[in-house]
Amino acid sequence: MDISFMERFLPLYLEAAKLTLTIASIGILISLVIGLVASLVLYYRMPLLSQLVTVYVELSRNTPLLVQLFFLYFGLPKIGIRLSPEICGIIGLSFLGGAYMTESFRSGLGTVEKIQTESALSLGLSGGQSMRYIVFPQAAAVSVPSLTANIIFLIKETSVFSGIALADLMYVTKDLIGIYYQTTEALFMLVIAYLALLLPISLLGTLLERRLRNAGFGN
């Protein structure tokens, strides 16, 4: 393995990792907001909005991210709307991630028994207070493993951003392989880069899950 090659192009991978993490972070934050709002719409069974959320979730989850990116980057200019690759990446990741986050929050909310909400209301809490202090904390604790898995999934999905000329980790790797034919070294650096991005998130998710679980049992 050519160590000098890896040392030479390490700055490129660092820049690509920074871009990947920046776009992924923004997309994940937006998708968390979308997921939370959409899951509340489903939880309260709001007329019309519930149906729209259901359609959105099914459409997003059953459409590849690369197809969504192609639509944003190549399709919208046909009607006069031009977006930068970075904006396309953020929108695409948010659209896809929002659907998965919706299901994660919805499954968490579904584990809280209705009797707890009814008891809170009988004690004088409003609907909003009941959600804030009774329902949501329990739902969030249950949703942590799923949310962590979704975050890792979305970061890995950034590997398709190279399809719209974003200089992310995959783009840099393919570029170096095509120019220098150093396949082993380029792929090794790609694996290490994604491992450096994903492993801390996985460990933090595990620790958070354990803390919430112990808190739930009063330990």
**Which domain CATH number covers 102?**
1.10.3720.10
Q: Which domain, by its residues, includes 84?
A: 3-216
88 near 74, Cβ under 8 Å? no
Q: Is 168 exposed, middle or buried (0-12, 13-18, 19+ CB in 10 A)?
A: buried
Query: In one letter, which amino acid is 19?
Result: L
Reported pTM: 0.86
Cα torsion angle, 73, 75, 77, 82, sign: negative
Walk along the chain (219 residues) and give the pLDDT tens digit of each residue: 778 878 888 888 899 999 999 999 999 999 999 999 999 999 888 889 999 999 999 999 898 898 999 999 999 988 889 989 899 999 999 999 999 999 998 888 888 777 877 777 787 777 778 877 788 778 877 888 889 999 999 998 988 888 887 888 888 888 888 888 888 888 999 999 999 989 999 898 888 878 876 655 444
Q: Which helix (H) or strand (E) holds 136?
A: helix 136-157
107-136 tens-digit pLDDT: 888 887 778 777 777 877 777 788 777 887
Tally of domains within the chain: 1
